[in-house]
Amino acid sequence: MKSTLNRLTPYVFFMPAAVIMIIALFYPLLYMIWGSFRRWSPSQQIGETEFVGLRNYISLWNDPNFAESMGVTLKFAVSVVTIEMLLGVGLALLLDRNIRGMSVLRTLFILPMMIAPVVVGLMWRYIYHPTIGTFNRFLDTIGVERVDWLGQNALMSVIIADIWQWTPFIFILSLAALQSLPQSALEASRIDGATGWQQIWHIKIPLMMPVLIVTCLLRLIDAFKVLEVILVMTEGGPGLSTEILALRISRTATEFRELGVAAAMSNYLLILLMLLTAAMFTYTKLQEARANRLRMAVEADD
């Protein structure tokens, strides 16, 4: 009897979490998938809707607006994540040292990510204002022609705002990865005469790579779902130049009242993110194996 209770104990503790996961995660997900196969408007219960099979998915393939939103999303996500990774890792490498007042600098760097996205959008919208905005007033003082930040350069302006807000996220995780590196590896490289740049490229970056890949994946997933900042700054305009897929999904559901099509878009986005996640985790496993071989080589040299 006692052995049976011991075997059942983990399942008893697991059951509440499993029930919450089913209710809070899997039920809405299955509901969205089922809704994507139906012609569904907000005024209808899902049971009253017409089953249309794959029609919603097929119609999206022939929709140029959906294709353009997907293109804008990919361009935005790749741009912000690439630049944020370079800046965040660079700052972490620069500030991973004992300098007076460094704790204050680190605190200042993480402030942008603490601000609500709506506030970030409003703040940058005023900074980019064509007449009273900070950037254009600065250009006036140096005699340079004003820039139409939220017009012809809208996508670039949104990318700058996102980089400002989320580079600290990369910085924090990169700094944590740096500070957890085995000191024996760095000391061995110094004894062998490695320069600072050689330590970065051949020791620090390879050992940090598993953390950097997971960090990149988290930012990439979040970049595909950005909504509030773009909605406040440009509302997806001018035209469709900054309408990323998350904003397109929101408009399809609320303005166009096509919940089935919006659900199909959401599933396309979900499939894309799952493929990216699978690819990144596969690459992570390869990099972890490489990092383990590097650690073993360093320990063998010791």
What digits encode the pLDDT tens for the residues 119-169? 999 999 999 988 888 999 998 889 888 888 998 889 999 999 999 999 999
Identify the pLDDT of residue 127: 93
**Domain-located, residue 54:** no
* CATH code where residue 175 lies: 1.10.3720.10
pLDDT at 299: 62
Distance of CA 141 to the CA centre of its chain: 36
**Residues with Cβ < 8 Å from 219, sequence gap 6 or more?**
80, 81, 84, 85, 166, 169, 170
pLDDT band, very low/low/confident/very high, at 249 (cuts 50, 70, 90): very high
Q: Is residue 227 part of a domain?
A: yes
Is the pLDDT score of 294 beyond 70?
no
Backbone angles phi, psi at 51, to 5 degrees: -75, 125
Which carries the bigger pLDDT value, residue 298 or residue 75?
75
Asked if residue 216 belongs to a domain, the reply is yes
The DSSP-derived string for the chain is -HHHHHHHHHHHHHHHHHHHHIIIIIHHHHHHHHHTTEE--TTS-GGGSEE-TTHHHHHHHT-HHHHHHHHHHHHHHHHHHHHHHHHHHHHHHHH-S--TTHHHHHHHHTSGGGS-HHHHHHHHHHHT-TTT-HHHHHHHHTTPPP--TTTTTHHHHHHHHHHHHHHHHHHHHHHHHHHTS-HHHHHHHHHTT--HHHHIIIIIHHHHHHHHHHHHHHHHHHHHT--HHHHHHTTT-STTTT--HHHHHHHHHHTS--HHHHHHHHHHHHHHHHHHHHHHHHHHHHHHHHHHHHHHHHHHH-
Whether residue 43 is contained in a domain is answered as no
Residue 39 lies in a domain: no
- Residue 298 scores a pLDDT above 70: no
Is 22 inside any structural domain? Answer: no
Structural domain includes residue 75: yes
Question: What is the reported pTM?
Answer: 0.85
Residue 114's pLDDT band (cuts 50, 70, 90): confident
Q: How many domains does the chain have?
A: 1
Which tens digit of pLDDT belongs to each residue from 66-108? 999 999 999 999 999 999 999 999 988 888 777 776 777 777 8
Q: Is residue 58 part of a domain?
A: no
Average pLDDT, the chain: 85
Residue range(s) defining the domain that contains residue 148: 63-301
